[in-house]
Amino acid sequence: MARWSSQTLSSTRCWSWRVRVPGSCFRCPGVSFKASVTESISLDVAHLPYNRKLIQFLQQERKRGRDIYLATGADVRLANRVAEHLGIFKGVLGSDGATNLTGTKKLDRLRTQLDASLGSAAFDYIGNDTPDLPLLAQAAQPMVANPTLGLRIRLRAHHIKPAKEFIEHRSPLRSLLKAVRLHQWSKNLLIFVPLLLSHRLSVPKLLIAFAAFCCFSLTASAAYIVNDLLDIEADRRHHSKRRRPFAAGNLSAIAGVAVIALFLCASAASALALPIVAARLGAPLNPPHSFVAWLILYAVTTTAYSLVLKRVVLVDVIVLAGLYTVRIFAGGAAGDVEVSKWLGGFSVFFFLSLAFVKRFAELESLRHRGLAPTNGRGYLLDDIEQLRAFGTSAAYASVFFLIVYISNLDTHLYRNPGRLWLLLPVLLLWVSQLWLLASRGELNEDPVVYAITDKRSLLLGVLVIAVVLAAL
C-alpha cells in the first residue's frame, strides 16, 4: 500500500507493516498530536497513492484464507477509514490517543492480539521504516514495502534478509529533481532581459545576473514545493498532477520541508552577499539592496498565492502575471539597469495572457472529459469564453506595447532599428497559435512547458534572436 505499513494476521501467521500516511505533513511521536491532526484534517483515502504490488499480494493472500490486520502508528480512526476502503483487513490496530503504537509497543499489542485470536501463532511482518525493526526481527517472514534507507541499513546490520520486497516508487533523486521543477527555471531567464536590452554587457554584470538567476530559481523551487504540499489532496484527484512526487508518495512531506528550508536559506544568503560581490567585481549596485527587496517581494507574493490568492478568481492570474514582471525589475536591479516603462507594460499584458491561457486550458481539459472544476480556484466551465476574451485581448495589448517600445527606442542602441519591426509578425503568430491550440484543447496546461518543448515555438525563438542580431 502506499507508504503504509500494515499488519496481517492469519490462522498460522501474521503480517504487519508500519503505517505512514502518504502526503501527511506531520510525523510526530506525540500520540495526542496525532489524534488532534486526525480530527482537524480529513484525508481522501480513496486517492492515496497505494502500493499496487502490495495490495495485489494481500488480496491474493486474503483469497487463500489468511486473516490480515492493519496495524499503524497513525490514529486508529484514520486506519479504520483506510481498512474500510480497501476491504481486505479483518481488524485494525492503531494509536488511540493514549498509546503511540510504534516499535516495541506495536509488537506487544500484536502478540496480545495473536494470543487472543489465534493462540501462540507465528506472524509475518511487512515494514517500511526503522521503528519496524523490532517486529521484523521477531517475524517468521520479514518483508518490506518501499523501505527507507535507514531501515535497509539496520536490516543488514542485524543480518535480517527480507523474504519479499514490494517496491513501487521512483528514486528519491529523480523525484526531487521533478519536485523542484527545473524546467520552470526557464522563467527566471527574464532576469537577464534588462541587461541584454541595455547593451551594457560585461563579465562582472553577467556574473551578477547569473547569481540573481540562481537566487530566484531556488526561491521559485521552494515555492513550488510549498504549493505541492498544500495541494496534495487536490493533486491526487487530478488526472495528471497525481503523478507529482508528493501526491504520488515518492517524496515525504518532511523531505519537502527540508528542501524548502535549504533552498530559502541558500537564496537569502546569496542575495544578501550580492552587493558585496558586485562591489568587489567593480560593478556596484545602486541602491545596493534593491535586488533583495524584489526577491523578498517575490517570495512573499508566491507564498500568499499558494495560501490564499490562487483561490481568488481573476486575482490569481493578475498575481501570476505580476510575478513575471517582478523578475524583469529584479533583473534591472541586479544589472543596475533602469527598466523601460514600455517593457514593463509589455511584460504585464504578455504574461497576463499566458496566465489566462493556463486557466483556460485547465477548464477546456475538464470540459473535454466531462468533468466539473474541483480544485477550488473558483472558475466555472461557463467562464471559458470570458477567459478567452480576457486572454486574447491581453495578448494583442502586449503587441501594442511592443510597437510603442520599438517606436521609442534609443537609436544609439541599434544600427538598424527598423529591422526590429519584424518582431511583430513573429509575436502575433506565436500568441495566435497559442490561443488557437488552447481553443482546440491541444495545449499543455502550462504554456511555459509548451514554449520550451514545441518545435515551432523554438524556431520562432531562434527567429527573434536573428532579428535582434540583424538590428544591432
Q: What is the pLDDT of residues 303-354, one digit of tens each?
A: 999 899 988 999 999 999 999 999 999 999 998 888 888 899 999 999 999 9
Which comes out higher in pLDDT, residue 199 or 33?
A: 199
Query: Which range has the top average pLDDT, 177-181, 242-246, 349-353?
Result: 349-353
103 or 397, higher pLDDT: 397
Mean pLDDT value of segment 215-241: 86
User: What is the C-alpha separation between 309 and 230, in angstroms, rounded?
Assistant: 13
State the Cα angle at 407 between 405 and 411, rounded to 5°: 100
- 6-169 and 172-309+316-339 have identical folds: no
Percent of the chain at pLDDT above 90? 37
Report the distance separating Cα 134 and Cα 110, nearest Å.
12
CA 393/CA 356 separation, integer angstroms: 10
Return the pLDDT at 194: 92
> Which one-letter DSSP state was computed for residue 290?
H
Cα of 5 vs its chain's centroid, Å: 25
In our burial notation (b when 16+ CB lie closer than 10 A, e otherwise), range 229-260 reads bebbebbbebeebeebbbbbbbbbbebbeebb
**Strand pairing report for 164-166 and 141-145:** parallel
Q: Is 166 helix (H, G, I), strand (E, B) or coil?
A: strand
- Bridge partners of 271, per DSSP, are none
Domain 172-309+316-339 is classified in which CATH homologous superfamily? UbiA prenyltransferase (1.10.357.140)
Cis peptide before 287 (omega within 30 of 0): yes
Q: What is the pLDDT of residue 18?
A: 42
Q: Using an 8 Å Cβ cutoff, are 38 and 77 in contact?
A: yes
pLDDT confidence of residue 120: 55
Q: Name the nearest CA neighbour of 104 among 74, 140, 133, 145.
A: 133
Q: What is the mean pLDDT of residues 55-80?
A: 84
Which pLDDT value is given to residue 188? 94
The C-alpha cell at 32 is 495526542
φ/ψ (deg, to 5) at 11: -65, -20
Cβ proximity of 4 and 74 under 8 Å: no
The secondary structure element, H or E, covering residue 91 is strand 91-95
| pLDDT band at residue 128 using 50, 70 and 90 as cut-offs | confident
CA nearest to 10, candidates 103, 162, 125 = 125
Fold type of domain 6-169: Rossmann fold (3.40.50)
Instruction: Reduce the DSSP state of residue 287 to 3 states and report it.
Output: coil
pLDDT tens sequence across 275-314: 999 999 888 888 888 999 999 999 999 999 989 998 899 9
Q: What is the pLDDT of residues 420-430, one digit of tens each?
A: 999 999 999 99
How does DSSP assign 97-163, residue by residue?
A: SS----HHHHHHHHHHHHHHHTSS---EEEE-SGGGHHHHHH-SEEEEES--HHHHHHHHHTT---S
- Does the structure show a pLDDT above 90 at 245? no
Average pLDDT, integer, range 81-86: 85
- Contact between residue 452 and residue 183 where contact means Cβ atoms under 8 Å apart: yes
- Tell me, what's the pLDDT at 427? 94
Q: How many CA atoms lie within 13 A of 223 on its CB side?
A: 25
Average pLDDT over residues 80-92: 84
DSSP letter, residue 244:
S
Domain boundaries of the chain, sorted by first residue: 6-169, 172-309+316-339, 341-359+376-472
Cα Rg of the chain, angstroms: 28
Closest CA to 311 of 236, 223, 229, 376: 376
Q: What is the model's pLDDT at position 22?
A: 41
Please report where in the chains the cell 551594457 appears, as a residue: 200
